[in-house]
A and B are shown apart, each in its own frame.
Chain A
């Protein structure tokens, strides 16, 4: 009540012109608020380059503005658990999406498997020789050097990488040499700078970084399928979120993803 009275009293002291100016400003602000409706997207780090491009396309097409936040999927999921104001969540593995679904933090009707990816072994440099994962002695190839991976117990890329190396029988030999980075992009950077001679990252990551070479691709049956589920967050802007997710399945967006090396999950 006091603020109202104060406001009313102070308004009385404005001149007529100041009144008009204030009214115009209020109107403009209202219009601006309607126009810059936002979609906040939490997405796994490995989708960055592709999603940036796709989101730009969405902004042009819809007039909505997109805010993108990239991190490791576990970190993003924890933030959503603690109430972060995201509208859309794109995870690098189904596990974290399941957790959020169990806690009813996502709208299950909007959940879809958006992207697929492959796991690759990379080496520093632009023209490293290829390596046959079935026959090669990976431990010997590494020597004293480090194998850069994302956190092998926590981050999806790391978990899949460890599973694949175990399935192929290389894990005991390489385990002591593994350098676990905070996320898959950090692992990529270590190999790109030459600090670590080899690394395990997604095919899309390797494509985005010119200073590394893919020297082997892990067979799809050596690790759980790399599926990126996407969903609208339960308490977010439902309409804008759905609009964004629909756009991501459009041919325009699919083209962007394909260009960056992502696959489409088997339906």
Chain B
């Protein structure tokens, strides 16, 4: 790892780019599932609802290393799901896909919480009105509910993205640290902190992390406000 010359060396840039890529895909993949889970928990009654709620929050409560270990057991090449998926060419072990899976799972509960609050804020009577006008359930969701939860959705997505960018414990336990594949920004910072004299490089990468987080927050504010304007009718 270069700690001089360019402000960020090529391996460091690699870590930044990988983190962005991993977090982007993690958030994107988690989003539809999070919306579905949030809607189900907010609107429906069904047996096992409390269990679903607990499962959703599990990654929030378990130590990240434990989550990483569970992922290794299930999605590793020797695991039940990982082994099966390997047959059809999908591999998580030691790949950026594994890092994305770990990041997505850690971000999931935060996204569900934020989106669920938004769904609960939408008056179900509006959904009823849409149904009486002939809209089937899916279209009610798409045309009525979704636009109205958009601000909360955006906030939840950004929160999820930020969490994914910062995910470390589960990632390094599940897919270890492989430059270009799984050495994300937090892994790189952690490694630098282990090297005597690596503090300045760690600091530089930390500043990059902060800049990305602030940028995402700013973007979410702008988008959320625009969405709220459209639905608020002011």
**A interface, CB within 8 angstroms of B:** 72, 74-75, 78, 95-96, 99, 146, 148, 151, 153-155, 178-182, 186-187, 190, 193-196
Contact = CB atoms under 8 A, between A and B. Distances in A.
B72 A195 contact: yes
Contacts of A155: 194
A193 B176 CA distance: 14
A74 B177 contact: no
Nearest to B174: A195
Contacts of B194: 72, 74-75, 78, 151, 153-155
A146 B93 CA distance: 10
A193 B72 contact: yes
A78 B194 CA distance: 8
B59 interface: no
A129 to B, nearest CB: 21
Nearest to B182: A179
B196 interface: yes
A240 to B, nearest CB: 28
Contacts of B72: 193, 195
23 contacts: A74-B194, A75-B194, A78-B194, A96-B196, A146-B94, A151-B194, A154-B194, A178-B178, A179-B94, A179-B175, A180-B176, A180-B177, A180-B191, A181-B176, A181-B177, A182-B173, A182-B176, A182-B177, A190-B176, A193-B78, A195-B72, A195-B76, A195-B93
A103 to B, nearest CB: 11
Contacts of A180: 176-178, 183, 191
Given A180-B177, A181-B172, A186-B173, A193 B195 contact: no
Contacts of B195: 74, 153-154
Interface size class of B (residues with CB under 8 A): 20 to 34
B77 interface: yes
A199 to B, nearest CB: 11
B33 interface: no
Contacts of B1: 153
Interface string B186-202: 00001111111010000
B167 to A, nearest CB: 14
B interface majority secondary structure: loop
Contacts of A96: 196
A123 to B, nearest CB: 15
B161 to A, nearest CB: 24
Contacts of A72: 194
Contacts of A178: 178
A181 B183 CA distance: 10
Given A181-B172, A182-B172, A195-B78, A151 B193 contact: no
Task: Name the residue in B77, B194, B195 with the highest tally of chain A Cβ atoms < 10 Å from its Cβ.
Answer: B194
A195 B172 contact: no
A72 B190 CA distance: 12
A139 B177 CA distance: 19
Nearest to B192: A154
A195 B173 contact: no
A179 B178 contact: yes
Given A193-B72, A193-B78, A186 B176 contact: yes
Contacts of A153: 1, 191, 194-195
Contacts of B192: 154
A72 B198 CA distance: 16
Given A180-B177, A181-B177, A194 B78 contact: yes
Contacts of B177: 151, 179-182
Contacts of A75: 194
B196 A95 contact: yes
Given A153-B1, A194-B78, A195-B77, A148 B176 contact: yes
Interface in B166-220: 172-173, 175-178, 183, 190-196, 198
